[in-house]
Amino acid sequence: MAAVASMTTTGCIEETFPEEGAATQEQVGASATALESSLRGIPTQMSQGYFVYGDQVHETDMSYAGLIIAQTEMLGDMYVGKGANTGYDWYSNYNNFSRSYNDNSYFSYLPWFSLYKLVKGCNDVIGAVDIENASSSVKEVAGKAYAYRALDYFTLMYLFEPKENKYTDCSKVLGLTVPFVLPTTTLEQGQNNPRVPHDEMVQFILSDLTIAEECLANNVQDDKLYPSLACVYGLKARVYMWDEDYENAAKYARLAIDTHGQSPTTEAQWLDVNTGFNTAVQSWMWKMGYSAENMGNLCNWTGWMSSEAAWGYSDLTMPSIDRSLYDHINYSDFRKYTFLDPDRSVYDYKSCRGQEWLAEKPEYVSLKFRCKGGDYSTYTIGALADIPLMRVEEFYFIEAEAIAQTKGYAEGVKLLNSFMTQYRDPEYNCKAKDLREFQLENLMQMRIEFWGEGVAFPMAKRIAPGIMQNYEGTNAPGDAFKINCEGIKPNWNLVIPRFEYESNPILEKTNNPDPTQAVVGPSPVGEYS
């Protein structure tokens, strides 16, 4: 665990800052050019292979990119393909209870240390800038760092803030998020650094985003690796949604849509054999990406998520959509053809690996994330993919629920129907008869839209939809996955790692309950455990 030791919140403080406090402008550089050099490290780190543990230790150690995959698994939306080996899908451990989720678990360690290491990178830039006296160019760089930090703390908040569930007692820790680590936080402070209450964390994140909004007011986005003003509005919409401030969520979702000013992904873009979901298009607001230097042949996004890639684990696991989720997609909805239908006569599927390869693949296998340029054999080419971090489509769904919450479910239905019929399925018709029914349908469409992108997870954790993985005809690969949880799955409340509270003992007394044995599968078919 030596590689992890420096990744604790207190370790980050010790590693990053001089003994007398925050880094000075002279140490990092007050010029826009110098600061941009520091800023460039942030998106690089977000997809960095072997980010926390070091070279060749854990192939799932992919920083923020890996956490996106983990959240798809946590939702129960992704399985290995029929006949594939579950043992090769290390991310599947986020989907079942066959491994430990306690305070000494890899599945708690990795999100915590990845995100705080990303916070550290943001603090390096933020701590070097005097916003009040900075030039406009320096402010713009700082604004992007504030937006990144807001994203990191928001992700920490929704992953570690406990929500009530049927299976574990969270009563003693409800409303608690994670500790603050700031550029000015000292080592001594870090060793007595409690979990921040929900309201305080929300206000902190919104404060970061307000600063980012001011700094990026005149920014023209020329590289989607970096957040724009529209992205800032999008982050505000996410935070307000989590906080259940639906009026502001609706406001900022619409601002994100209008400020971005671009249309959703088209059918042709979505299903393109060579560029589908590996090349940013007009709908993408924010992305991650790779260079040959920050990935390995096994530790990269495409190698985990593209069934066509011949170099990674996905060639062995055949990532597939949950059958019930697939069955919810109308045949008039082009997103259906992201996944292989049991009846191959319904659509003329294409693959860069040819029709013979395609014919051998099992039903429900994903073709969403294609190999860059159709190169499925050379990872240094095919894995150099863009990864979606934020798409404009998200804010149509957020706006729909937020409006339903404030103006009545019928208004939300209108918005959802408008988006779906115009951009996804001309025959779609939401028939929800009350707010709860609408919430669940809106979430279902988000899970379909953002399959593999992690976007739907915080929405699901907030509304507690119930997760049914053992039902008649399920394609869950084994008993460990056949778990039906009412409300939310208890492992959606991640546990603070032991290594962290050994450095910061106050956290041990306010840790989330261990969900490991809370649910034992399989659940009764079609019934909650």
CB 277 within 8 A of CB 305: no
Ramachandran category for residue 338: left, alpha or beta (phi over 0 → left; psi -120 to 50 → alpha):
alpha
Q: Say what the pLDDT of residue 85 is.
A: 83
Would you tell me the crossing angle of helices 229-242 and 198-215 to the nearest 10 degrees?
170
Distances (CA, A) of 165 to 72, 161, 193, 236, 463: 19, 12, 27, 26, 12
CB 154 within 8 A of CB 243: no
CB 49 within 8 A of CB 294: yes
CB 324 within 8 A of CB 451: no
Provide the residue-wise pLDDT of the chain in tens; the chain has 529 residues.
334 434 456 644 444 333 333 344 454 445 778 899 999 999 999 999 999 998 877 899 999 999 999 999 999 999 999 999 888 999 999 998 877 889 999 989 999 999 999 999 999 999 999 999 999 999 999 999 999 999 999 999 999 999 999 999 999 999 999 999 999 999 999 999 999 999 999 999 999 999 999 999 998 999 999 999 999 999 999 999 999 999 999 999 999 999 999 999 999 999 999 999 999 999 999 999 998 777 778 899 999 999 999 999 999 999 999 999 999 999 999 999 999 999 999 999 999 999 999 999 999 999 999 999 999 999 999 999 999 999 999 999 999 999 999 999 999 999 999 999 999 999 999 999 999 999 999 999 999 999 999 999 999 999 999 999 999 999 999 999 999 999 999 999 999 999 999 999 999 999 999 999 899 889 999 999 9
Q: Say what the pLDDT of residue 86 is.
A: 82
CB 281 within 8 A of CB 222: no
Tally Cβ neighbours within 10 Å of residue 432. Answer: 18
Amino acid residing at 471: Y
Q: Quick check: helix, strand or coil at residue 387?
A: strand
The class (CATH top level) of 2-268+390-510 is: mainly alpha
The partner residues of 78 in beta bridges, in order of sequence, read 321
Q: Say what the pLDDT of residue 469 is.
A: 97
Residues 6+ apart with CB under 8 A from 124: 16, 23, 28, 38, 183
CB 42 within 8 A of CB 424: no
CB 160 within 8 A of CB 178: yes
Would you tell me the crossing angle of helices 32-46 and 136-160 to the nearest 10 degrees?
20
- Token readout for 516 is 């490991």
Q: Residue 121: which of 203, 202, 63 has the closest Cα?
A: 63
For strands 387-391 and 284-288, give the pairing. antiparallel
Q: Name the E strands within 214-296.
A: 284-288
Cα–chain-centroid distance for residue 208?
20
CA angle 391, 394, 398 (to 5 degrees): 155
- Token readout for 271 is 């299903």
Residues 6+ apart with CB under 8 A from 525: 470, 471, 472
Residues 6+ apart with CB under 8 A from 101: 107, 108, 491, 494, 495, 514, 515, 516
Give the Cα separation of 115 and 112 in Å (integer): 6
Please tell me whether the peptide bond between 522 and the residue prior to it is cis, using omega within 30 degrees of 0.
Answer: yes
**What is the rounded (10 degree) CA torsion for 324, 519, 100, 503?**
110
